[in-house]
Amino acid sequence: MKAPDLLTPTHWKDYELVDCGGFEKLERFGSHTLRRPEPQAIWEKSLPEEEWRRLADCSFRREGRSEERGQWSVRPGMPDRWSVNYRYREMSLRMRLGLTSFKHVGLFPEQAENWDFIFDSVKRLQGSRPDTSNTTSRPRVLNLFAYTGGASLAACAAGAEVTHVDSVRQVVSWSRENMEASGLEGIRWIVDDAMKFVRREVKRGRFYDGLILDPPAYGRGPEGERWILEEQITELLSQCSRLLIPQPSFLVLNLYSMGLSALLAKSAVNQLFGSVSQEQFGELYVTDRAGKALPLGVYYRFFRA
């Protein structure tokens, strides 16, 4: 069996993991540095506490026993919204960031490695199509649990016809802002429960050239639909396997739930989509200034030529 791959983004200019440890991380997004909880940073910090306090423009503190909810302590002059840029080959993205009550800022920087893969995969799909005068359709890509749209923007920038699905209307609006700021257009926005949408697409007989799945560990749909990753991921993948054309096509799957492995993702996908020769699976990570590698999720992806 092929060994798992450890991948880290290499094209960021506007993001840096400054330090991590003590179940926290210190990150620079553009010109602002943030301090946030990080359950995987089990080691000690490399920088002294005084340096963390000096560098942090804002710090997140949990409320009570909540693992996610909390409040930001912000220095004077720190905006509640700002933007960062990401460039790879001909792709140039601009994404708006903001301080949310769930410690997130609208961007998962480790996912840039997958954005590059998505951009390259759409370009490969275009190159594999016959060069005839009546071939005008673009590769069709479906992005589920799409959040603020980094993956959607990458596919769109490469020339795909993108359907972006998320259950939170405000997040979809945020994604639209990012599309417009990046000088892109034409993404199809859907506010819906991902599982319900996929089931309807299967009934409609629709097909896609690329699938992107980034499911949370837990979640709620727009009508209160409950999502629990371990209980529903198999059905979701089963439905999605009926949407993806045999070839050429690609798939990207991210899993953030602690305790789930890349081998689990590989086995689940291979059982339902079939074994493929051009596949990668492993962990996504970023490295701080001291060289500590912080794992931030597992992934599985393939391209079927």
Amino acid 169: pLDDT: 95
Dump pLDDT digits (tens) for 128-172: 766 544 445 899 999 999 999 999 999 999 999 999 999 999 999
Angstrom distance (rounded) from CA 36 to CA 104: 9
Average pLDDT, the chain: 93
Domains of the chain, earliest start first:
5-304 (3.40.50.150)
Dump pLDDT digits (tens) for 215-261: 987 777 777 777 777 788 999 999 999 999 999 999 999 998 656 78
Quickly tell me which residue has 């802002």 as its tokens: 177
Q: Which letter, b or e, does each residue of 49-77 get, where b requires 16 or more Cβ atoms within 10 Å of its Cβ?
A: eeebeeebbbbbeeeeeeeeebebebeee
Query: Which tokens belong to 276?
Result: 């493929």
Amino acid 118: pLDDT: 98
Q: Which residues contact 169 (CB under 8 A, 6 or more apart)?
A: 191, 222
How do strand 188-191 and strand 91-98 relate by DSSP bridges?
unpaired
How do strand 81-88 and strand 24-29 relate by DSSP bridges?
unpaired
Mean pLDDT of 28-57: 97
Q: Do residues 296 and 253 lie in contact, with contact meaning Cβ atoms separated by under 8 Å? A: no
Dump pLDDT digits (tens) for 62-98: 887 666 689 999 999 999 999 999 999 999 999 999 9
